[in-house]
Amino acid sequence: MNYCNLCGSTVRFEIPPGDNRPRHICNQCGEIHYLNPKIVAGCLPVHQDKVLLCKRAIEPRIGFWTLPAGFMENGESTRQGAARETLEEANARVSDLQLYTLTSIVPVSQVQMIYLAQLDDLNFSAGDETTDVQLFSEDEIPWDDLAFQTIRNALTLYFADRKKGIFPLHHVDLATPPGQYIDKP
């Protein structure tokens, strides 16, 4: 960040009075610009013994398989964001959304929320950011061609939980630096 997006003046990077970390502060109007983590919301859509995956049409990880997910927008709930991304990427409608994995991806300041969801119908198809959408049973999952570690985690947890018949929230912190705020696992 080099300029204030309110008045267009240059910014400096220093700790504001009463704060404890440096922020971008406008040299003209004094506005303090805060940078905060972004939420990625998505679904793990289930139909009978299969799950729905999307083949990515865009970078990063073009050509690899993923769950439908993307950045949450202003003016929606986390569940609405997860359902909207599923509709946009897979033209798929889902119900009964239940928070399943909550992952803080600390190095990139993202919080990923994946909802377990039931696919409403089989009229899905590739959206703009997707080249293919398919249902996969456990032994059909393209484990070597998954786009992200968080997707692999969610699928691994899901098939393990399905054998037990319970689907608790899985709370994961990735690459958490050592420090005083570490919670017990």
Give the interface with a copy of itself as residue ranges (CB under 8 A).
Answer: 1-11, 18, 20-21, 24, 33-39, 71-80, 83-84, 87-88, 95-97, 99, 102, 104, 106-107, 109, 111, 128, 169, 171, 173, 176-177, 179, 181-184
**Residue 8 backbone zone (phi > 0: left; psi -120 to 50: alpha; other: beta):** left
Residue placing its CB nearer to a copy of itself in the complex, 2 or 123:
2
Q: What whole-number distance in Å separates Cα of residue 171 and Cα of residue 96?
A: 20
Question: Could you tell me the smallest distance in angstroms from the CB atom of residue 133 to a copy of itself?
Answer: 18
Q: In terms of CB distance, is 128 or 144 closer to a copy of itself?
A: 128
The C-alpha angle with vertex 77 and arms to 76 and 82, in degrees rounded to 5, equals 95
Read off the amino acid at residue 100: Y
Structure tokens at 175: 């690459």
Among candidates 101, 110, 111, which has minimal Cα distance to 170?
Answer: 101
- For residue 39, report the phi and psi dihedrals to the nearest 5 degrees: -95, 130
Residue 146 CB, shortest distance to a copy of itself, in Å, is: 23
**Nearer to a copy of itself (CB atom), residue 118 or residue 134:** 118
Q: Give min distance, CB of 139 to a copy of itself, in A.
A: 30
Nearer to a copy of itself by C-beta: 72 or 141?
A: 72
- Least CB distance to a copy of itself at residue 68 (A): 13
Specify the residue, 103 or 141, whose C-beta has the smaller distance to a copy of itself: 103
Q: Is the dihedral of CA 108, 111, 115, 116 positive or negative?
A: positive
